[in-house]
Structure 1
Amino acid sequence: MAQIERMTVVFPEPMAAQIRAAVEAGEYATTSEAVRDAVRLWSDRRQMRANDLERMQQAWEAGKASGSAGEVDFKVLRQEARQRLAELNDDRDL
């Protein structure tokens, strides 16, 4: 079994009430279980952010390494984007 460390955490009353309500509703057996679940979600979210940041950094580096795209005609770019958006909206209407 994993080693356990006791910690004291102080919550504002509205948060504490939410945790107690979740336990009373049977969503969790104890307040500790509810807090552990919250910490797991927080940890997962931090990992997802780190993964997203790594992917963005890789994409940035790949983009820089690919060289210049040359001149960009923003009028044409906007028209193409509007066309793709219109096509997406048409597909949703089906």
Structure 2
Amino acid sequence: MEKASITLTDAHHKLLHAAVEAGEYASISEAIRDALRGWELERQMQQAELEHLRREIRKGIDDIEAGRVVQWDPEAMKQRLRAKFAK
């Protein structure tokens, strides 16, 4: 395991110290490692979401290039909905 020296704000230090005092963690180092694991998981989830969005954008571009899209006419849609709900 590698050692690193970091500088914390007073508020962050107090937060970490309180978590240790409450028995949530055995040490400040343990609390920081847990926070880093959470940060790493969040980054992985963001990366997965970004990849999903890229795939969806690619699908949309592929649909446009293949001619599988139609021009959307919001006014025509409103008219169809009004006619449907007027019955």
TM-score bucket of the superposed structures, by smaller chain? 0.7 to 0.9
Of 21, 25, 43, which residue of structure 2 is paired with 1:24?
21
- Gap runs ≥5 in structure 1: 81-94
Specify the alignment match of 1:9 in structure 2: 6
Provide the aligned C-alpha RMSD in A: 1.9
Opposite residue 64 of structure 1, the aligned amino acid is I
Which of 1 and 2 has greater Rg? Answer: 2
Q: For each residue in 1:39-87, what CA deviation from the matched residue of structure 2 results, as whole angstroms up to 9, or x when unmatched?
A: 000011111111111110011001110125222122437x97xxxxxxx
- Gap runs ≥5 in structure 2: 82-87
TM-score (structure 1 length as normaliser): 0.73
Query: What are the residue-to-residue correspondences of 1:75-86 with 2, within 5 Å?
Result: 75=75, 76=77
Count residues with an aligned counterpart. 76
